[in-house]
Amino acid sequence: MRFDWRTLYCPAMIASYLSILIVVTGWVPPRVISTPFVLLGNVTVPAALLIIGSSIARVPIRRMFGNTAIYLMSVLRLMLVPLLILYLSRLCRVEETIANINVVLAAMPVASYGTLFCIQYQKGEIIMAEGTFLTTLLSVLSIPLLTMFL
């Protein structure tokens, strides 16, 4: 694999550079410019969730619950990793509030960005959709259980 310099000049990266520049300089764009961007930003999360939902809808329900590897990954992701972070935080004497925040953040379900990348590159879309679905479903139980340790 080689690094492609053109990725630094794609529209998403240019928008990132401009947003960093706006934040650093403190410039407030006029409403006529900022309003369309705010509206576009507000629609991105629902649009991403619609795409992920359509990806999950294509997976048969039996397959969604029948993959033992997804269950193992879910337990690792939702319980073991956060408990390891809790243990290491206490071992390193990290402030309790910060440690608890890190533990809860680590216990969140699999990010939807993974599914979007799988869809974009057409690799492992089904398994990622299964993981997103199952970890989101199981997090309803695992997050309250985990907070009992905090």
Asked if 125 and 55 count as a contact pair (C-beta separation under 8 A), the reply is yes
To the nearest whole number, what is the mean pLDDT of the chain? 88
* Token output for 9: 């000049």
Closest CA to 146 of 91, 101, 114: 101
Q: Distance (Å, rounded) from C-alpha 13 to C-alpha 28?
A: 20
* Token output for 118: 């799988």
Asked if 58 and 122 count as a contact pair (C-beta separation under 8 A), the reply is no
pLDDT by residue (tens digit) across 33-42? 889 989 988 9
pLDDT by residue (tens digit) across 60-114? 888 878 788 889 999 999 999 999 999 999 999 999 999 999 999 999 988 777 7
Helices (H), the chain: 11-25, 31-57, 61-66, 68-75, 81-91, 96-106, 112-121, 125-147
Dihedral sign, Cα of residue 27, residue 30, residue 33, residue 36? positive
Give φ, ψ of 141 to 5 degrees. Answer: -95, -40
Q: Angle, nearest 10°, between helix axes 112-121 and 125-147?
A: 170
Q: Distance (Å, rounded) from C-alpha 57 to C-alpha 136?
A: 15
What is the pLDDT at residue 104?
93
Question: What single DSSP character describes residue 139?
Answer: H
What is the pLDDT at residue 84?
95
* Token output for 112: 């939807």
